[in-house]
Amino acid sequence: MACTSQSAVQYVRRAKPKLVGTLKGLTVIVEHLYQKDVFSEEEVSKIKTAGDDFDKTREIVNRVIKKGEAACYEFLRIIDITRKRRTERPPSFLEITASDSSSRDKFDLNYWISCFSFKDDTNMDVTYLQGPSPCHRYQQKLKFKAQKISERSWTQSKAVLFNKQSSLSYTSLVLDTPGQASASKIKKSKIKKSRKLRPKKLKAYIPEDKHGTSPSELLQTYERKILLVGKPGTGKTAVVHQMLKLWSEKDNKDLDYMFYFDMREAPNITEVHKLEDLLFSVFCEPDEGNDEVLENIKNNDDSVTIIFDGVPNVPSTSTQSAVLELIQKTLLPEAKIIITCRPEGESADFLLDWDCLRVEVKGFSEQGIREYLSKNLSEDHFNKVLCNLELFSLCHVPMYALMVVACFSFEGSDFSAHPCTVTEIYLNILHFCNQRNVSKTSENESTKWDAILSLSQAAFCATEGKNVSLTSLPKLDSCANLAILSKLLIQISPTVKKPLCAFLHYTVQEFFAALWVLKDPEKTRCVLQKCLVQGSKHMKHLVPFLCGLLNEKNTDLLESLLPPQQLRDTSGWFFKHLVTTFVGCSDSEDCEVDLMFLCQCLYESQSPDACLCLLDKLDYCIDVSGETLDPQHCCVLAYVISQSKERKIELNLEDTTVSKQGMRPLLGCLSKLQRSDSLSRQLWTISLLTDGDMDYVSLLDFTENQLHLPVNSEKQLYDRAVRVLQKRKVKVCLHCDHRVCQSASSFLLHHLPHIHSLSFCQSSGNLSDQTQLLMNLFIVAADRQQRTGEKILNMLSSVCSYRKFPLHSNSSDKYQSDFLLDLYSHVKDCETKTGLSVLPSLQPVFQSAPAVWSINLSERKTSILLELLKLQPEKKRVELRGCSHEESEVRSLLQCLPFISQLRYTTRSSHNKVCLSMNEC
């Protein structure tokens, strides 16, 4: 190290002029010098009463120098350790190049302190030197609160379980970081009259197990703005609670802060204007040294993490809102801000230009579902869920998984079958909680059901007002015992606290709101209409629960709340009105209808008649092109399709993304679909590009033993197509367009022994594309045969048995002739360009010419015909459909005559034909 010969006193004295102008963190330095007995309490008091920071620094340095070597050494050690926490981020290239010479000559405190040679002092209390003691005590208080928040979440969830041996804990969720998605690009799909392709929808789906990001990685990343997006119940809150837990369990080597705000529990948080009020009054106040802690937070904002969970909206007009200023980085610009919201929340004004790390929370993967269920269910119940594909698919949403576990954890149930819809699961949870509460309290069951209706009314009012806080709940104490509410106390004044309730999740609130809607048929009609009105479209989340509550299977579960006859009367008109309302609105350009949403509603209803009504409206044409379908979507779609009776359904899956778990129910309803080459290609493409084993046998049966392959797909598709060929010999039907990838050619030639026949889809591309692919196949096959001696050309010719193939006996003479002429020209061009000589190997192919050559010589060079005729073992009959009048072409035609047995010329009029035998010439 430089300057190692200098003593600590000399080192500090020489740098005194520079230190006085640049030293930071004076409060921490003074406190540590006091703790190390360098300064007395009187000296600390005098330093604090000094003028500005310049005067305080000069006072500190002077006193340290006067106290000698030991004091200066301790002073340098404190600077060395505390500066590590205050180290600023490295300047960017633009900042460096923009700086002037004076800034480049500025005193570098980091370099200066690194040049001093310290002794090996293993007993130095590093943790203590990272900040003022009030800050450390506040950090411990924050960690304690973070731990309590995360524990409370699991405690509330476990309260709905009857098997108390279950140990709910964090199960890994799928966190995907596809990059930032502009909110303006997030569109809803439409049902169009033309049934054309629709815009892709941004929807989460369950990917296969793969390494993605994790809560711990989100804690460690340098990204300062993180947006967690996910559908209801997918686990956004679970992720941030796990981050709280991980942070609270960290050691204390670093002084950092984490604040968590549940926006659902603090609806008025956006009205807080000061940072101090937000952090200390709303969340957690330090026991001492408020000003010192706040100063430390501001000076070290890169060590601050703030979580806003469940952000519905932050009015941009609230310019003085501390929340908005934190999000916009006006306050604590280097703090890490984490926001969770639903997908539709991304369109909020304050997030439109929020340049952030966008993380999509997709719920459990298949492995995650199995892990969660196996930890919380008995082996028998676990196997029952696995056998119920619909129920298993629901569990990819953690909230639904919890409800499923709750239903199966209830012992002594006499139900004949376990629930399969979300509504039925919620109804069972409601009954379980109510029965348990009746046994624990003196209230009778009737009183409890009255309290539930009261809760339903409060849920509807809160939902209608886009709120999650149930402020007007007359029977709060009774309802809070349901274990589906979180009870809070809000400080509204220094001496008064107000009780407040909120549901464990949005979907639970929407379920209870739907209960209240069904009490009044007119209100039910009104809610359907509101779903189409701007500003009230959030009410559509009640509709699936309305359908589920009108499910005949749930009548007994609702008997204590709603009269059965009223439910039957409402059901009589509701579903037809639902379909008419949503599908009928597609006539309006401003109306956006989500077909999958309708399918979800009908699945909840379990009503075949309602499904048939929807299919009639759609003319039995279901277009989900461009969609991303998760397993639940596939289950509800398969349910609707399976209700069709006499008429087959036309399904469009173009550019549709489906997971492996979701593909299974779709394959289960193939018998209800109208088979077409287009649908066959879509199903094969989706199945082959989906990870894991698929039911290829069912798909082969549906496509009549045909494997439909696009010739421009990625290599992965052809690699997996090998699995199909290993099961049986199949007919390969190619779908061709302007692009032909090398993987397709390699796959076909390598697996010819397993191919029964090779053909082109009738509606696939044009003749030129197909010809180009065939020519490449024959040239590659000829080259391979010359190199290896393998009789691959004969094999290739034998599988080309489709009548439109040039080598098939039933294909037209014109098609065969044109192909052989094109192939010969292509071979000659390849030999000229690459030096590759495959003509000898292809001679048997050229000799398989048709009995009559049908050629238009006005479009071709006659010299090519002459070359091909020379390769024939016998004279051929030739039909000319056109002929060039150029002298050179006529000469070439005359040279062909010795190889022609009969020449027939066909004029434009089909009645005027001239036939000449070569014996007559």
Q: What is the pLDDT of residues 389-416, one digit of tens each?
A: 667 776 887 877 887 888 777 665 454 4
Could you report the per-residue pLDDT of 76-110, keeping only the tens digit for each? 988 887 765 554 444 433 343 344 444 556 778 88
d(CA 364, CA 396): 5
Q: Is a pLDDT exceeding 50 seen at residue 183? A: no
DSSP-derived pairing of the beta strands 304-309 and 175-176? unpaired
CATH superfamily of 8-131: Death Domain, Fas (1.10.533.10)
Q: What pLDDT was estimated at residue 64?
A: 92
Nearest to 175 by CA among 203, 214, 210: 214
Over the stretch 706-753, which tens digit does the pLDDT of each residue have?
999 888 777 888 888 888 888 888 998 888 765 656 677 788 888 888
| Residue 189 banded pLDDT, cuts 50, 70, 90 | very low
Banded pLDDT at 332 (limits 50, 70, 90): very high
Residue with the bigger pLDDT between 346 and 552: it is: 552
pLDDT for 99 equals: 46
Residues paired with 337 in a beta bridge: 225, 306
Looking at residue 917, its pLDDT comes to 53
Between 455 and 85, name the one with better pLDDT. Answer: 455
**Residue where the block lists tokens 């014109």:** 814
Q: What is the DSSP letter of 250?
A: S
Distance of CA 296 to the CA centre of its chain: 38
Report the half-sphere exposure of 236 (CA within 13 A, side-chain side).
26
pLDDT value at 436 more than 80: no
More confident residue, 396 or 121: 396
Q: Give the separation between CA 99 and CA 94, rounded to whole angstroms.
A: 9
To the nearest whole number, what is the mean pLDDT of the chain?
Answer: 78
Residue 802's pLDDT is 42
Q: How far apart are CA 37 and CA 47, in angstroms?
A: 15
- Range 631-647 average pLDDT: 89
The Cα–Cα gap between 106 and 556 comes to 80
- The residue among 699 and 694 whose pLDDT is bigger is 699
pLDDT at 441: 52
3-class secondary structure, 870: helix
With 70 as the cut, is the pLDDT of residue 902 above it? yes
Angstrom distance (rounded) from CA 453 to CA 556: 17
Closest residue by Cα to residue 753 from 798, 806, 707, 814: 798
pLDDT at position 138, please? 93
Residue carrying the six token digits 């020519």: 775
Which pLDDT band, with edges at 50, 70 and 90, does 474 fall under? low
Provide the angle, in degrees to the nearest 10, between the axes of the packed helices 792-799 and 839-846: 30
Three-class secondary structure of residue 754 per DSSP? helix
pLDDT score for 691? 75
Q: What are phi and psi of 309, to 5 degrees?
A: -95, 125
Higher pLDDT, 30 or 409: 30
900 forms bridges with which residues in the sheet?
Answer: 876
608 CB contacts (<8 Å, ≥6 apart)?
A: 643
Query: E strands of 653-693, at which residues?
Result: 657-658
Mean pLDDT, range 853-871, rounded to an integer: 81
Is a pLDDT exceeding 60 seen at residue 820?
yes
According to DSSP, residue 413 is labeled -
Chain segment 779-815, per-residue pLDDT in tens: 888 888 888 878 888 888 778 754 445 544 445 567 7
pLDDT for position 146: 92
Give the confidence band of 542 by pLDDT, cuts at 50, 70, 90: very high
Confidence of residue 228 (pLDDT cuts 50, 70, 90): very high
The answer, as to whether pTM is greater than 0.75, is no
Candidate from 39-43, 401-405, 572-576, 797-801 with smallest mean pLDDT: 797-801
Angle, alpha carbons 511-641-422 (nearest 5°): 20
Per-residue pLDDT, 207? 36
pLDDT number for residue 470: 78
pLDDT of amino acid 145 = 93
> Could you read off the pLDDT of 506-527 as tens digits, one per residue?
778 889 999 999 988 888 888 8
Please give the pLDDT value at position 641. 95
Confidence class for position 130, pLDDT limits 50, 70, 90? low
Secondary element (H or E) of residue 882: strand 876-882
For residue 164, the model assigns a pLDDT of 59
Q: Which residue has the higher pLDDT, 615 or 167?
A: 615
Give the model confidence (pLDDT) of 833-846 as tens digits: 776 777 777 877 87
Give the pairing of strands 913-917 and 900-906. Answer: antiparallel
Q: For residue 574, what pLDDT band results from cuts at 50, 70 and 90?
A: very high
**CA nearest neighbour of 3 among 131, 112, 152, 130:** 112
What's the mean pLDDT in 418-435?
77
Dig out the tokens for 363 from the structure: 């719920």
Question: How much is the average pLDDT of 8-21?
Answer: 89
How does pLDDT run across 282-304, given as a tens digit for each residue?
999 999 989 989 988 998 888 89
Q: What is the pLDDT of residue 180?
A: 37
For 250-279, what is each residue's pLDDT tens digit? 876 678 999 999 887 776 788 888 999 999
CA–CA separation, 666 and 627 (whole Å): 14
Tokens of 339: 């926001």
Q: What is the CATH number of domain 135-158+175-182+213-363?
A: 3.40.50.300
Share of the chain above pLDDT 70, in %: 78
Q: What is the pLDDT of residue 204?
A: 33
